[in-house]
Amino acid sequence: MRVHFTKMQGAGNDFVVLDETSADLGLTPDQYRFLADRHFGVGADQILSVRPSPAPGIDFQYVIHNADGGEVEQCGNGARCFMRFVHERGLTSRDTVRVQTLSGVIEPRLNADGRVTVDMGAPIFETARVPFDADGLHPLARGDWEQWHLVLGSRAEGDVISVGVLSMGNPHAVQIVEDVDTAPVARQGPLIENHPRFPQRVNAGFMQIVDRGRIRLRVFERGSGETLACGTGACAAVVAGIRLGLLDARVDVQTRGGLLTIEWAGLGHPVLMTGPAVTVFAGEIELA
Ligand SMILES: N[C@@H](CCC[C@H](N)C(=O)O)C(=O)O
């Protein structure tokens, strides 16, 4: 089967985007993995499928697969690319669309400067479901804000870290580090991603607070490894920093691939994410 694709990137988080508005391609996890493969396929952190509206009042459905072939609930940088894609292909002429994802409806808006702002919905805190000291580990509840202590590796020799845990539709564990350049992202990332406290696995964020309006961030993504930027990771880090009283309501997030701006007015409010979305090239590839 020959498939037409578009390669896009948002702050260096890169995507293969598939137009499935007229027909569902029905790809298998192996085929998603092949598309994402940087040596044998196109190369991408995630594969984004644009599908037709699933319900009245919704413009499109947005389906996301990680590089490991697994389907996931949400992708922030992908949402901005999704918006540019549907515009550039003439699938909509509207500047704001309502998009169904696995974890709810998001609203991307194309700005006059070409950047995209996405209403990512409200963050979710799951304290009610956190058993205290389950598995012999030590979650600390702070009101309804979750700060957990995790032991990575063996109890005798492993690192003990403190992470803020929340969902932006997909799960995140964010820790504060002195300096993102020297943070142990490659060593701790896989241990956090696969820690038994996260049965669905988790995205691991490493946040350096520069001042109340600026952070530097690296994210070891579930199912993709470290990426140059993670949109939902940026939202989660800023929400975590605000809940800890360390950040203001509008924060610039410097990632290795570009700058994102995150705004959050507090509990019950949606998180707004603004950043770039760029088409790199288009092509066709043969899928076995
Ligand atoms: N790159 C993304 C997040 C993609 C999904 C994530 N790896 C997960 O498994 O939840 C973003 O920009 O948000």
Least confident of 76-80, 123-127, 242-246: 123-127
Q: Is the ipTM of this complex over 0.95?
A: yes
CA of residue 52 to ligand 1 center, whole Å:
22
Based on its alpha-carbon atoms, the radius of gyration of the chain, rounded to whole angstroms, reads 19
Catalytic residue among 47, 72, 230, 273: 230
Interatomic CA distance for residues 225 and 228, integer angstroms = 10
Q: Is 189 in the pocket of ligand 1 (CB under 6 A)?
A: no
Phi first, then psi: what are they for 234, rounded to 5°?
Answer: -65, -45
Q: Which atom of ligand 1 is nearest to the CA of 45?
A: 1
CA of 97 to the centre of ligand 1 (A): 20
Known catalytic membership, residue 75:
yes
In this structure, the residue with its CA closest to atom 3 of ligand 1 is 75
Q: One of 18, 75, 204, 234 is an active-site residue; which one?
A: 75
* Residue 221: partners with Cβ closer than 8 Å, 6 or more residues away: 45, 66, 203, 227, 230, 233
Ordered DSSP codes for 36-79: H-TTTS---SEEEEEEE-SSTT--EEEEEEETTS-EES--HHHH
Tell me: the pLDDT tens digits for 204-242?
Answer: 999 999 999 999 999 999 999 999 999 999 999 999 999
Task: Give the predicted TM-score (pTM) of the model.
Answer: 0.94
Q: Is 230 a catalytic residue?
A: yes
Structure confidence by residue, pLDDT tens digits, 136-147: 443 444 444 577
